[in-house]
Structure 1
Amino acid sequence: MADIFSPSRLGGTSQAVALASACLSILLVLYLMFFADLYRRPDATESQVAQTLEGRPPLDIHIEMMSLDPIRQTVEARLNFPERRADAAQAGGARVRLSDGGFVRELHLPADRAAGATSVEFGLDGSISAYPFDVYRTDALIAAFAGEGAQEAPLAVQLTVWERLPAWEARVVSRPARPGEVGLPISIEARRPPAHVVFALIVYAVMAVIAVCGLAIGVLAACGVRKIEAAFASSLAGMLFAAPMLRNAMPGAPPLGVAADAYVFLWVQVALMIGLVLFICAWARRGSPP
């Protein structure tokens, strides 16, 4: 009992308590900051982007973001055209032209019946190698026309956008028209939600901590600072296989080879392998005989 309450033991306990308290305080502050940021972010809702042409009623187009493929760098959207279209009642109906700078697609809207929903893909600029901070953008143009040939006349466009996109934060806004552009110029941007970014960063941090622990076990055993315990061999082997499972559990887990893998995951595996080899070598040299 006297050793427990000795000054040296009490001093070490006080330092440990102070360090643990500081770590918990930092964790609590980060926790509150994270949830405060989530609370301030508004939920995705419908937004409208409109083009005005004097004396011409707008063509209503509803667009819903369906999915985003970061590998192919495309976003799929579904276009719906409400039945109430005064502009499409003209002979010949209306035509809608969509372009993202790399493709042009034209849709024909008949005047005598409602047009069905149509799926389109917009190409995006971005790279998944920046995971989890990857951002994808594109500038698109939506134009509408009535009539054919010499009778063709531009129509105003009113775009109603539902920006909710699974596992992404999407945003569609109007942008300034470039020279020669006719129609409604828009900009589409998508990025990963803060919760996904924080989760991915925490997983990479956990992998780094596991690597440091595994390397410390191997180095201390090899240097003879700590007693060789055979159970550590299975622990190190488990760490070696746990890191890939953690990596694949991240939200929207990208293919192997993104920049974060080169900075963290690859070296985690190397550190764990070195720690396991050092421990096995120390066990082979100084381990207890049968």
Structure 2
Amino acid sequence: MTIDAPAPPAEPSPPRPRKKGKLIGFALLLAFLIIYVGSLFGFHLLADSSAPLKADLNSTDDTVVLVRLDELKTVANRLTVKVLVIPQDSMFDKRLEVLKTDTAVRMDPANDLGDLLYPAGKSPAQVATTIEAHGNPNNWPFDSYSTDTLSADVLVGSGDDRKYIPARVEVAGALDGWDVSVRRVGEASQDSDKGDSVVISLHRAKGPLIFDLGICLVLFALPTLAVTVAILMLTGKRAFLPPFVTWFAAVLFAIIPIRNFLPGSPPTGAWIDQALVLWALIALVVAMIIFFVTWYRRTD
């Protein structure tokens, strides 16, 4: 009587490729969501890092010239502000809320309008003017700007009876996309122990700066992908697909609109044009030339 040998154990079946593909897809989706949510959270934190400046207007015995920030024109190096005189109690009729005498503000260095006038019998109103802000816009997006030491005197009265009254400069407000800081300098001629003069400094905020760098990465990635695809088709590692010519053309004509979308409007010819935009255009033209060489070789 023969005894049959036991059958060899069955080999485990290999895992299904479909199940593995689903796991990879789920992992990629989860990684994308984590990066996306993390980037939004980080951008929100950085965008909220700069708070608007608040002026100190507590002392009623001081004459204050309030400078409210409005707009920075980087190419022209001009800072647009709105100036308001807040007179001491002896110059102001609290019952009617009007100035008792003609008043003017003379700023140093001079603003573009010269003396800013606030007539007697009227409530002081903000006067828009511009002052110089020194900086190099070609350094975008790492450019920064600062004013000269900004001081002000108030001229009170009319005709030969006019006299100077020292005033303390206060800065308030914020500029979208900029971190603004104020440094007080000079002597304190008012009741407040703060210096009368200020220096305003402006640096690009971290949130918009990250957005600028992201657009720069897009400008770098587009020509890199185009050249890579063209070389793969030229060497025969990938099939030649004639419809790709429309994609090359679309990418080529998209570079300039993307460049013009850069926040902060860098001036034409800035380093970003010399180091990235020009070379991106050249790389795309090279990719199109490689594509047409491939087309010429593979067609009759």
Superposition TM-score, scaled by structure 2 size: 0.73
String of CA shifts for 1:198-247, please: whole Å, max 9, x gaps.
22211111121111110001111122221110011111111111111211
The CA distance in 1 between the partners of 2:32 and 2:44, in whole Å, is 19
Query: For residues 244 and 211 of structure 1, do their structure 2 counterparts lie closer, same or farther at Cα, with a shift above 3 Å needed?
Result: same
1:211 aligned to 2:223? yes
2:135 partner amino acid: G
Q: Give 3-state SS (helix, strand or coil) of 2:263's partner.
A: coil
2:43 to 26, 34, 46: 34
Q: Is the 8 A contact 2:63 2:88 kept in 1?
A: no
Q: Give 3-state SS (helix, strand or coil) of 2:56's partner.
A: strand
5 Å-filtered alignment, 1:141-220, equals 141-146=151-156, 152-157=163-168, 159=170, 161-165=171-175, 167-169=176-178, 171=180, 173-177=182-186, 184-220=196-232
The CA distance in 2 between the partners of 1:108 and 1:248, in whole Å, is 40
Query: For residues 254 and 3 of structure 1, do their structure 2 counterparts lie closer, same or farther at Cα, with a shift above 3 Å needed?
Result: farther
Q: Is the 8 A contact 1:48 1:158 kept in 2?
A: no
The CA distance in 2 between the partners of 1:37 and 1:170, in whole Å, is 11
Runs of 4+ in structure 1 deviating by more than 6 angstroms, as ranges, are 9-24, 88-92, 101-104, 147-151
1:71 to 60, 68, 75: 75
Q: Is the 8 A contact 2:62 2:87 kept in 1?
A: no
Aligned to 1:122: 131
Deviation at 1:28, TM superposition (A): 5.0
Q: Is the 8 A contact 1:49 1:158 kept in 2?
A: no
Superposition TM-score, scaled by structure 1 size: 0.75
Unaligned runs of 5+ in 1: none
Unaligned runs of 5+ in 2: 1-12, 94-98, 188-194
Range moving further from structure 2, 59-68 or 116-125: 59-68
1:47 aligned to 2:55? yes
Q: Is the 8 A contact 1:100 1:138 kept in 2?
A: no
The CA distance in 1 between the partners of 2:115 and 2:179, in whole Å, is 24
Query: For residues 108 and 258 of structure 1, do their structure 2 counterparts lie closer, same or farther at Cα, with a shift above 3 Å needed?
Result: same
Q: Is the 8 A contact 2:177 2:208 kept in 1?
A: no
Query: For residues 234 and 250 of structure 1, do their structure 2 counterparts lie closer, same or farther at Cα, with a shift above 3 Å needed?
Result: same
Q: Give 3-state SS (helix, strand or coil) of 1:250's partner.
A: coil
Deviation at 1:40, TM superposition (A): 4.7
1:47 partner amino acid: A
Q: Give 3-state SS (helix, strand or coil) of 1:76's partner.
A: strand
Deviation at 1:260, TM superposition (A): 1.6
What is the CA RMSD across the aligned residues, in angstroms? 3.9
Aligned to 1:61: 65
The CA distance in 1 between the partners of 2:106 and 2:87, in whole Å, is 19
Q: Give 3-state SS (helix, strand or coil) of 2:266's partner.
A: coil
Aligned to 1:244: 256
Give the % identical residues. Answer: 21
Larger radius of gyration: 2
Deviation at 1:255, TM superposition (A): 3.1
2:285 to 254, 269, 273: 273
Q: Give 3-state SS (helix, strand or coil) of 1:225's partner.
A: coil
Aligned residues: 274
2:65 partner amino acid: I
